[in-house]
């Protein structure tokens, strides 16, 4: 026991508990690749919907780790599940099966399959890895062309980046894999013009998150399904940000009565524990065979038990209904604010965008952080709100009440 205590003390020392933010940021700047720029805060603790920085200041987390922390921070059920599993069996590789892995697979495939529809899952560690698996499934059709959309974001690895529209992400790494065509998002007529018998798949987000929470017109996903069926193409729905209760339903597309051939998940599924999942149905379910894809860590029992715990709590605590109710409350409260900097609100459930009349979102994010609120700006004129699904009305109201002052101050920040 004394050895374990000594190791624990060494780890505490190495972590540098008690270091100021300046100390940690100095180490960050010298030891970590500068892919994310300089962090705006050093957070050391979280509980529920709040996080505390190294100086002890509390912040209301309205970003949820980029829509990841569906149950907030340090949720006791998830902690208990992970701790119990890790103390029993942590990792055995995919040469072997574990009960948690199979149980989570059965729960997820039930979301997209049915009595007459075969469904299978490939577990990964992140959203971009789930999309890489999906990309490989499309290649097994014998076709190579994929249709994506303008404004799409599907990840940063080379395969998923090939499906991502933003030139600033793509151009430094071209040439990218693919035979990928981009069409305007939400435009079914534009999709119909390019979707023919040469297309392997159409990949769509049911709501574009990184593009500023853009919601397509009603019936868009259903029309895409119809067009894919006519051309013999796969419909691939990326629910990495929108899925697992974020919008008030388990999955956006199934809530609209649409069946996808491929569905990719991650983010909220693990509540911070790394996990991704590529689901496939019907003929797509068996296009990847033995040896055609793999992963060392994907589907390990600790990640699987985290996913099972998250799904159980969402069901037990009625968090799908809470996401819907709190999303509607947030939107209505912001409309009532009447601040002239606000052009409108869009989104669904607890994935909401505050659309601004001026490109002051970045300044507003910084000022909100100073005021104790974590938000982000996916576009210069858009603030994204994606809090834990456990958020309360009172917590949302505290942000809405502070919002006019934040926006007024942001408008005064020099461009």
Query: 36 catalytic, yes or no?
Result: no
Tell me, what DSSP letter sits at residue 71?
A: T
Residues 6+ apart with CB under 8 A from 59: 41, 43, 50, 51, 52, 53, 369, 372, 373, 374
Q: Hey, is 237 helix, strand or coil?
A: strand
Count of other CB atoms within 10 angstroms of residue 257: 9
Handedness of CA 188, 193, 197, 202 (dihedral sign): negative
Q: Where are the beta strands (DSSP E) in 87-226?
A: 119-124, 145-149, 180-183, 199-204
Q: In whole angstroms, how far apart are CA 371 and each of 58, 215, 356, 405?
A: 10, 29, 19, 10
Q: In whole angstroms, how far apart are CA 127 and each of 78, 102, 186, 264, 275?
A: 20, 20, 22, 7, 8
Q: Are strands 50-53 and 119-124 parallel, antiparallel or unpaired?
A: unpaired
Catalytic residue among 135, 145, 238, 399: 238
Residues 6+ apart with CB under 8 A from 322: 389, 390, 391
Count of other CB atoms within 10 angstroms of residue 178: 16
Angle subtended by helix axes 319-337 and 301-316, to nearest 10 = 70
CA distance 296 to 300: 9
Count of other CB atoms within 10 angstroms of residue 398: 15
Catalytic residue among 153, 273, 373, 399: 153
Tell me, what DSSP letter sits at residue 389?
A: T
The CA-CA-CA angle for residues 125, 130, 133, to 5°, reads: 120
Query: 145 catalytic, yes or no?
Result: no
CA distance 346 to 344: 7
For residues 64, 347, 378, 170, the Cα torsion angle rounded to the nearest 10 degrees is 110
Query: 267 catalytic, yes or no?
Result: yes
251 and 263 Cβ atoms separated by less than 8 Å: yes
Which residue numbers are catalytic? 153, 238, 267
């Amino acid at each position: 026991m004394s050895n374990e205590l000594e190791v624990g003390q060494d780890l505490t020392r190495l972590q540098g508990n008690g270091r100021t933010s300046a100390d940690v940021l100095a180490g960050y700047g010298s030891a970590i690749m500068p892919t994310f720029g300089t962090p705006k805060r050093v957070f050391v603790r979280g509980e529920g919907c709040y996080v505390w920085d190294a100086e002890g200041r509390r912040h209301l987390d309205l970003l949820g780790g980029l829509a990841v922390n569906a149950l907030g921070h340090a949720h006791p059920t998830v902690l208990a599940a992970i701790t119990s599993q890790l103390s029993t069996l942590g990792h055995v590789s995919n040469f072997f099966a574990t009960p948690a892995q199979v149980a989570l697979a059965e729960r997820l495939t039930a979301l997209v399959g049915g009595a007459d529809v075969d469904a299978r899952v490939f577990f990964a560690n992140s959203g971009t890895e789930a999309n890489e698996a999906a990309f490989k499934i499309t290649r097994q059709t014998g076709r190579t062309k994929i249709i994506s959309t303008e404004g799409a974001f599907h990840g940063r690895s080379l395969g998923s980046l090939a499906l991502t529209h933003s030139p600033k992400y793509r151009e430094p790494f071209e040439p990218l894999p693919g035979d990928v065509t981009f069409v305007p998002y939400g435009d079914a007529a534009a999709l119909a013009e390019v979707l023919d018998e040469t297309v392997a798949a159409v990949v769509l987000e049911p709501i574009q998150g990184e593009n500023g929470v853009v919601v397509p017109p009603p019936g868009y996903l259903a029309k895409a399904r119809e067009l894919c069926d006519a051309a013999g193409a796969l419909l691939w729905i990326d629910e990495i940000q929108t899925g697992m209760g974020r919008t008030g339903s388990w999955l956006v597309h199934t809530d609209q009565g649409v069946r996808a051939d491929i569905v990719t998940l991650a983010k909220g599924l693990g509540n911070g524990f790394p996990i991704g999942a590529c689901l496939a149905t019907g003929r797509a379910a068996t296009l990847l065979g033995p040896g055609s894809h793999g992963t060392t860590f994907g589907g390990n029992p600790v990640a699987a038990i985290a996913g099972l715990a998250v799904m159980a709590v969402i069901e037990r605590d009625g968090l799908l209904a809470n996401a819907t109710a709190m999303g509607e409350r947030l939107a209505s409260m912001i409309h009532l604010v009447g601040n002239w900097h606000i052009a409108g609100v869009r989104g669904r459930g607890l994935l909401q965008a505050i659309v601004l009349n001026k490109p002051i979102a970045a300044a507003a994010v910084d000022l909100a952080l100073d005021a104790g609120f974590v938000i982000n700006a996916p576009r210069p004129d858009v603030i994204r709100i994606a809090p834990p699904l456990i958020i309360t009305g009172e917590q949302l109201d505290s942000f809405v009440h502070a919002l006019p002052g934040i926006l007024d101050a942001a408008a005064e920040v020099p461009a």
